[in-house]
Structure 1
Amino acid sequence: MNLLRSALHMAFMFVTVIPYTVAILVVRLFGAKGAMRYTIAQKWLKLSVDSARVIIGIRYQVHGQGNLPVGETSPAILLVKHQSTYETFLMPAIMPHPLAYVFKKELLYVPFFGWSIGSLDMIHIDRSQRAKAFAKVVEQGKALLARGVWVIMFPEGTRIPRGERGSYKSGGTRLAIATGAPVIPVAVTSAKCWPRKAFIKHPGVVDVSIGKPIPSEGREADELMCEVETWIEAEMHRLDPEAYVGQR
């Protein structure tokens, strides 16, 4: 039954992404601002999350929403635990500010999905040119944060299997220090229902825990990332203890 439901949800996303992508490209052609294009994309992402709940039975609950900064232009850099595709859909659906993902440029070539994100105010980088790529992240990040767009990054860089810890990179904290924005650590237990690189999904509850803002002024990037990592991993152990049996 889970196989059938997963296939149905995948088909639903594939069919619905086409008209939403066309809508984004059309409004861009007519000069629509980034906010309108983002709103269209956000609606599809929320539709994908809602359809996962209806078709598969994947629900979510958010803890710590009150920790998010208030104010239309209050800056924030979200550093999120990455276990599956689910959180890439979920974060824009639940956050009060538009989000700008930092992602590798290869995703731009994915039909429809890549065309959509390429038409949004996101930050795509060439990982082979590290210094140049980071300079671009800082330049675009400052401009986006000034407009009230929050930057979101996955410090582990890739999806990590349930119960495991990836290597946390300091790019997100370096950006925070360069822009003066606080970092917001976020723990997500998505792999309980939507495992990494798995076609078959399972019903259940995904917990999203939002930590308190951590100021970046006067901090060192590695030391700040160590604090973020410590909080996220401790929170993952608390939210999903079954995944960490036998681990400290």
Structure 2
Amino acid sequence: MLFLLRMLLLTLHFVVAGVLGILLGLCRPFNPDNSRLCALMYSRPAMWILGLKVETDTQSLREHVRGAVIIANHQSNYDLFVVGGVVPERTVCLGKKSLKWVPFFGQLFWLAGNVLIDRGNATQAKQAMLTTTDTLQHKDTSIWVFAEGTRNLGKGLLPFKKGAFQMAIAAGVPIVQVCCSTYVKHMRLNRWHGGTIMIRSLPAIPTSGLSLDDLPTLMSQCWQQMKDCIDGLDAQVERAC
């Protein structure tokens, strides 16, 4: 019963936050700080509705130099609510073009200045990559990417796609890694306390001076660091349960 009530309230909240986000976007369209404000509108009420406690250790993310590629693990559609509270200022997200057609959220996502990519169109995807490079270098803005490219559904960190790392190397900007504990395994939405989630950011990795020849090593380094961090967060959550 509690689960059904939470889903009803979450759906209502999703619609209300979407409408408010669209109004914000219409007032200042494509402002790169819209994403952070909209993420907060989605995240904080949702965490209260779901009864989830989020513990964060994200100093390196809060203090990062603008113009960074931020990569995070991608577990489920709940990521919108879970990591929304740690999105830093002037950060836009890289997403699939199909998101534009999701009612309320899609229009908000576009107006917030996020980058939409048609992965099935190589020409458009290349143009979007050039746009993101310019954004990182000249517009005092960071880009958030779920480096796995798809949801892992709590089954472990999937291999990374190249796009985020190519962007960072092309723009010569640092990579900031954000790791979230495997909350999909621990959520108990039919209980008052839905569970505990831990989020930690890792020290920035500079890419200045790197070339595409360094891409495999960079991807492997980031993947292993994030896996080790997520495993550590999961162990902490297990001990706290």
Could you say what secondary structure the match of 2:71 adopts? Answer: strand
Higher deviation after alignment, 217-226 or 17-26: 17-26
Query: Partner residue of 2:215?
Result: 221
Query: Partner residue of 1:207?
Result: 198
Which of residues 184, 188, 196 in structure 2 aligns to 1:191? 184
Could you say what secondary structure the match of 1:137 adopts? Answer: helix
Displacement of 1:152 in angstroms is 0.7
Query: Partner residue of 1:23?
Result: 23
Query: Partner residue of 1:95?
Result: 87
Q: Distance in 2 between matches of 1:18 and 1:95?
A: 17
Query: Partner residue of 1:34?
Result: 30
Q: Distance in 2 between matches of 1:200 and 1:140?
A: 41
RMSD: 2.9
Which of residues 131, 142, 151 in structure 2 aligns to 1:150? 142
Query: Partner residue of 1:236?
Result: 230
Displacement of 1:14 in angstroms is 3.3
Query: Partner residue of 1:139?
Result: 131
- Contact kept, 8 Å, 1:58 with 1:204, in 2: the verdict is yes
Counting matched residue pairs gives: 233
Q: Distance in 2 between matches of 1:218 and 1:194?
A: 42
| Alpha-carbon spacing, 1:192–1:145, altered in 2? closer, same or farther (3 Å) | farther
Output the TM-score relative to the length of structure 2.
0.83
Could you say what secondary structure the match of 1:151 adopts? Answer: strand
Query: Residues 100-119 of structure 1: matches in 2 within 5 Å?
Result: 100-119=92-111
What is the identity percentage for the equivalent residue pairs of Structure 1 and Structure 2?
Answer: 22
Q: Distance in 1 between matches of 2:221 and 2:233?
A: 18
Could you say what secondary structure the match of 1:236 adopts? Answer: helix
Displacement of 1:193 in angstroms is 5.0
Q: Distance in 2 between matches of 1:215 and 1:18?
A: 35
Displacement of 1:44 in angstroms is 4.1
Query: Partner residue of 1:57?
Result: 51
Q: Distance in 1 between matches of 2:126 and 2:187?
A: 31
Q: Distance in 2 between matches of 1:42 and 1:24?
A: 12
- Contact kept, 8 Å, 1:58 with 1:206, in 2: the verdict is yes
- Contact kept, 8 Å, 1:176 with 1:216, in 2: the verdict is yes
Which of residues 81, 104, 120 in structure 1 aligns to 2:73? 81
**Superposed CA offset, 1:89-136 (max 9, x none):** 454532332221111101101111101111121111110123541342
Output the TM-score relative to the length of structure 1.
0.81
- Contact kept, 8 Å, 2:68 with 2:174, in 1: the verdict is yes
Which blocks of at least 5 consecutive residues in structure 2 are unaligned? none
Q: Distance in 2 between matches of 1:95 and 1:2?
A: 29
| Alpha-carbon spacing, 1:10–1:43, altered in 2? closer, same or farther (3 Å) | same
Query: Partner residue of 1:162?
Result: 154
- Contact kept, 8 Å, 1:108 with 1:118, in 2: the verdict is yes
Q: Distance in 2 between matches of 1:205 and 1:107?
A: 29
| Alpha-carbon spacing, 1:91–1:14, altered in 2? closer, same or farther (3 Å) | closer
Query: Partner residue of 1:178?
Result: 170
| Alpha-carbon spacing, 1:89–1:146, altered in 2? closer, same or farther (3 Å) | farther
Displacement of 1:60 in angstroms is 1.0
Higher deviation after alignment, 4-13 or 168-177: 4-13
Displacement of 1:24 in angstroms is 3.4
Query: Partner residue of 1:125?
Result: 117
1:34 partner letter: F
Which blocks of at least 5 consecutive residues in structure 1 are unaligned? none
